[in-house]
Structure 1
Amino acid sequence: MRFTVLGASGFVGRHVVRFLRAAGYEVMPVSRDNFGEARGDLGHCIYAIGLTADFRTRPFDTIEAHVTLAANLLRDADFQSFLYLSSTRIYANSSDTLEDGLLSAHPFNPSDLYNLSKMTGESICLSSGRPGVRIARLSNVVGPNEAGSDTFVGELCREARQGHIQLRTALDSAKDYIWIDDVSRLLAEIAIAGRQAIYNVASGTDLSHRAWVSAIANATGCSFAVDENAPTTSFPPISTARIKDEFGFTPSPVLDFLPLVLNREAA
Structure 2
Amino acid sequence: MTRCTVFGASGFIGQALTRALIDAGHEVHAPGRGEHLDLAIDLGHVFYCIGMTADFRSRPFDTVRAHVSLLLDLLERHRFQSFLYLSSTRVYAGADRAHEDVPLTVNPHDPSDLYNLSKLAGEAICLHSGKPRCRIARLSNVVGFDPHSRNFHAELIREALSGRILLQSAPSSEKDYILLRDAVGLIMRIGLHGEAPVYNVASGVNLTHERWCAALARATDCTVGHAPDAPEYRFPPIDITRVRGEFGFEPVPVLEAVPSLVEEFRKFPDQ
Let me know the Cα RMSD of the aligned residues: 1.5
Report % sequence identity.
50
Q: In 1, distance between residues paired with 2:259 and 2:241?
A: 30
- Corresponding residue for residue 28 of structure 2: 27
Following superposition, the deviation at residue 71 of structure 1 comes to: 1.1
Following superposition, the deviation at residue 38 of structure 1 comes to: 6.7
Q: In 2, distance between residues paired with 1:260 and 1:42?
A: 37
Secondary structure of 2:36's counterpart equals helix
Q: In 2, distance between residues paired with 1:231 and 1:173?
A: 8
Q: In 1, distance between residues paired with 2:74 and 2:14?
A: 17
Letter in 1 for 2:137: A
Q: In 1, distance between residues paired with 2:255 and 2:6?
A: 28
Residue 64 (str. 1) matches residue 65 (str. 2): yes
Q: In 2, distance between residues paired with 1:35 and 1:208?
A: 42
Contact 2:139 2:200 in 1 (8 A): yes
Q: In 2, distance between residues paired with 1:66 and 1:143?
A: 23
Following superposition, the deviation at residue 31 of structure 1 comes to: 3.4
Following superposition, the deviation at residue 193 of structure 1 comes to: 1.1
Residue 131 (str. 1) matches residue 132 (str. 2): yes
Q: In 1, distance between residues paired with 2:264 and 2:14?
A: 23
Q: In 2, distance between residues paired with 1:93 and 1:215?
A: 28
Q: In 2, distance between residues paired with 1:118 and 1:263?
A: 34
TM-score by length of 2: 0.94
Contact 1:19 1:181 in 2 (8 A): no
- Corresponding residue for residue 149 of structure 2: 149
Residue 259 (str. 1) matches residue 259 (str. 2): yes
| Residue deviations 1:17-48 (CA, integer Å, cap 9, x gap) | 1111111111112232x532475111110000
| Residue deviations 1:84-143 (CA, integer Å, cap 9, x gap) | 000000000211211111011011110000000000000100110011100000000001
Following superposition, the deviation at residue 255 of structure 1 comes to: 1.3
Residue 18 (str. 1) matches residue 19 (str. 2): yes
Contact 2:145 2:264 in 1 (8 A): no
Distance 1:28 1:242, change over 3 A: same
Contact 1:30 1:38 in 2 (8 A): no
Following superposition, the deviation at residue 227 of structure 1 comes to: 1.2
- Corresponding residue for residue 182 of structure 1: 182
Q: In 2, distance between residues paired with 1:258 and 1:23?
A: 27
Structure 2 unaligned residues grouped into runs of 5+: none
Residue correspondences, number: 264
Q: In 1, distance between residues paired with 2:38 and 2:171?
A: 45
- Corresponding residue for residue 215 of structure 1: 215
| Within-5 A mapping of 1:1-267 | 1-32=2-33, 35-37=35-37, 40-145=41-146, 148-264=148-264
Q: In 2, distance between residues paired with 1:143 and 1:38?
A: 34
Secondary structure of 1:24's counterpart equals coil
TM-score by length of 1: 0.95
Distance 1:63 1:264, change over 3 A: closer
Q: In 1, distance between residues paired with 2:120 and 2:264?
A: 38
Q: In 2, distance between residues paired with 1:46 and 1:166?
A: 37
Structure 1 unaligned residues grouped into runs of 5+: none
Contact 2:204 2:238 in 1 (8 A): yes
